Amino acid sequence: MTLKEVLKGAVEEIASGFRRYPVWVALAHESIGDQHRRTTLGPLWLVLNYFLFAGAFVVVFGHRNEIENFPAYVATGLYVWLLMSEAINTAVPLFRREANYIKGTTLPLFVYVMRLAMQTVIRGAYSGAGWIVLMLFLVQPSLEQWLMAFAGLAVIVLALPAVITIFALLGAFFPDFEFITSNLVRVGMFLTPIFWIHGNDGGLRQMLYEYNPFTHFLAIVRQPIISGELPVMELVLCLGISAFAWVLAFFLLGALRKKVVFVV
């Protein structure tokens, strides 16, 4: 397959997927409804789960008084981490989970990608309501702080379809990748500065802080809330990572889209 064919295939796939936005928006809402059908609180369980998770982290690690406004630090970091890690974990088995539809319909693969991205955004909006309530109680951010934090969230949301595409394709062609990813994400929660900070003393901890990409995605949302400052360098880095993810997703989708049906 030539480069021209790869590029043309990717453009057609993505454009066709975006044109079918009513499909993936409806499917995403249906998935959220199915997950909470017959429950008393419905999607409000997402808010409650976030409160419980954040509260547990604050109680367990609350003795770390060297961190300014530790409850807000943890609550914001945890919110961003849960948003990203859920997208990654659910993306890996995406195409195998949708195998019947992929084999039985002519919908573009990007429809399933956008369905999961939309579903992640909806779930994130519910838990985000809990995060906003906590921030209003703990920090009382100004409008400018909120705008900077939501700009950081927008960068994450814009990167979601690309990240989901990459992980879904890897999961389709390499079934073991699901177990590798789940273990890495589980360990990654403790290697990412959700509830700890580096001490500028070098060593492994400093390296984990600086070279972990999740560190910077947490910072573009958390730093405006905690300190009221826009982390320009982290924002530029996150935009660069997102752009790279889109380029990689673009080429992988163009090269592999017609082969997915044979491996799921």
Determine the pLDDT at residue 144: 93
Question: pTM for the complete prediction?
Answer: 0.92
The pLDDT of residue 199 is 61
**What's residue 160's pLDDT?**
95
Structure tokens that stand for 110 in this block: 């990007």
Tokens of 77: 């970091």
Instruction: Please name which of 11, 55, 49 lies closest in space to residue 253, comparing C-alpha atoms.
Output: 11
Give the residue ranges of the chain where pLDDT is below 50: none
**pLDDT (0 to 100) of residue 39:** 77
Structure-token pair, residue 60: 């367990």
Let me know the angle formed at the C-alpha of 98 by 161 and 13, rounded to the nearest 5 degrees. Answer: 45
Q: Provide the pLDDT for residue 64.
A: 56
Amino acid in the structure at residue 125 = A
Tokens of 34: 């199915």
And the tokens for 81? 């981490």
Q: Which of 156, 155, 162 is nearest to 248 (CA)?
A: 162
Structure confidence at residue 63 (pLDDT): 57
Contact by Cβ (8 Å): 139, 80: no
